[in-house]
């Protein structure tokens, strides 16, 4: 591993996608210079770079969003958690992989200890549904 002291995101998926996109840009450049099929061929190659990168990411050769632990910074380290999806990753969500659910803390409703407990629960349920409360006994 090189002397990098932070995660720069170098992955097989990233390098492969960059290489394919660069080749597509070169072919597009040839098309601009006079080889007309090169424009469309190059644009197609650049579009395939997105699909190649996405496929490699889903296969575990990419990286999840955020900084990885230091032992996973190496280029040839495969991400074993990719099969279930990464939390907060657009590519995983597009593939139908949701990742670990994000838990949010929801405070429980306070307990009503008055004699009108049933009326209070009806009122709180109605106010949550944006409907008028029926407080008839």
Q: Cβ contacts of residue 132 below 8 Å, gap of 6+?
A: 126
For the entire predicted model, the pTM comes to 0.63
**In this predicted structure, what is the pLDDT of residue 92?**
86
**In this predicted structure, what is the pLDDT of residue 43?**
96
**In this predicted structure, what is the pLDDT of residue 104?**
46
Contact 31, 41 (CB under 8 A): yes
Q: How many CA atoms lie within 13 A of 4 on its CB side?
A: 13
3 or 90: whose pLDDT is higher? Answer: 90
Q: Which two tokens stand for residue 96?
A: 């139908």
Which tens digit of pLDDT belongs to each residue from 70-116?
888 888 888 877 888 888 888 888 888 876 654 445 555 555 555 55
3-state secondary structure of 57: helix
């Amino acid at each position: 591993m090189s002397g990098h002291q932070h995660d720069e995101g170098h992955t097989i998926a990233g390098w492969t996608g960059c290489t394919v996109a660069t080749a597509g840009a070169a072919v597009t450049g040839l098309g601009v210079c006079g080889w007309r099929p090169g424009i469309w061929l190059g644009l197609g190659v650049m579009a395939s770079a997105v699909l190649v990168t996405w496929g490699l990411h889903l296969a575990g050769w990419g990286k999840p969003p955020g900084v990885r632990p230091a032992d996973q910074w190496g280029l040839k380290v495969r991400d074993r958690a990719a099969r279930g999806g990464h939390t907060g990753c657009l590519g995983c969500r597009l593939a139908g992989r949701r990742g670990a659910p994000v838990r949010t803390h929801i405070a429980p409703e306070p307990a009503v200890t008055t004699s009108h407990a049933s009326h209070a629960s009806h009122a709180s349920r109605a106010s949550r549904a944006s409907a008028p409360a029926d407080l008839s006994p």
